[in-house]
A = this chain, B = another copy of it.
Amino acid sequence: MKLYTYFRSSAAYRVRIALNLKGIAWESACIHLVKDGGQHRRPDYLALNPQGLVPALEDGGQLLTQSLAILEYLEETHPEPPLLPAAALERARVRAVALAIACDIHPINNLRVLTYLRRTLGQPDDTVNAWIRHWIESALAALETMVAPTAGRCCFGDAPTLADVCLVPQLFNARRFDCDLDACPTLLRIDAHCRELPAFRDAAPENQPDAAV
């Protein structure tokens, strides 16, 4: 499979982790979101993915977009090891954690929104950084409450699920923006455990071919 990816995109990071956990062979097609005015805005990339976002995954000549749709696709086409439990209620709980990150934290803090705050609204860096911290810190505190009852070494028991696949990239972002994470000891413990696993380690931004030097 070929993954259109950017080392620091947390949505691409999710898919890299899942590909590794499933043991799927994949190669990187690096789309730099900053260089060249943003390679994701080039007509050839927009022709592949009209949203102009990363990641996108090519499998058998077909292009898939939206990281969570890609994760569900990988789960359906490569069921082992499972990243969702078997029972509908537990699946819903795992997906709720993944979606709380993918819908309610990440999109409000991604590059295009921060650029709009800076350039169109003329907000200074301090205000933009406070914006990021506000959304990440309040959302992670709620997530800590959601995850605490089911947490083992991972968010749901001891094996990684889609919740962990989304959590670890979000905590990478939180650290990058100096968020206060004192309210989420369980999430930090899970994150530390997961980042020791080879599938997560190999997917980390600093281990990608396009990582800034």
> Which residues in A have some Cβ–Cβ distance to B below 8 Å?
50-53, 62, 64-66, 68-70, 72-73, 76-77, 88-89, 91-93, 95-96, 98-100, 102-104, 106-108, 113, 116, 120-121, 123, 127, 131, 134, 139, 142-143, 145-146
Contact = CB atoms under 8 A, between A and B. Distances in A.
Among A68, A88, A96, A145, max chain B CB count under 10 A is at A96
B72 A89 contact: no
B142 A51 contact: yes
Contacts of A103: 66, 68, 102-103, 106-107
Contact of A89 (B66, B73, B92, B107): B73
Given A76-B88, A121-B127, A131-B116, A53 B104 contact: yes
26 contacts: A50-B145, A51-B104, A51-B146, A52-B142, A53-B104, A62-B89, A64-B89, A66-B100, A66-B103, A68-B68, A68-B99, A69-B95, A69-B96, A69-B98, A70-B92, A72-B91, A73-B88, A73-B91, A76-B88, A99-B102, A102-B103, A103-B107, A107-B107, A108-B108, A108-B113, A121-B127
A82 to B, nearest CB: 14
Contacts of A88: 73, 76-77
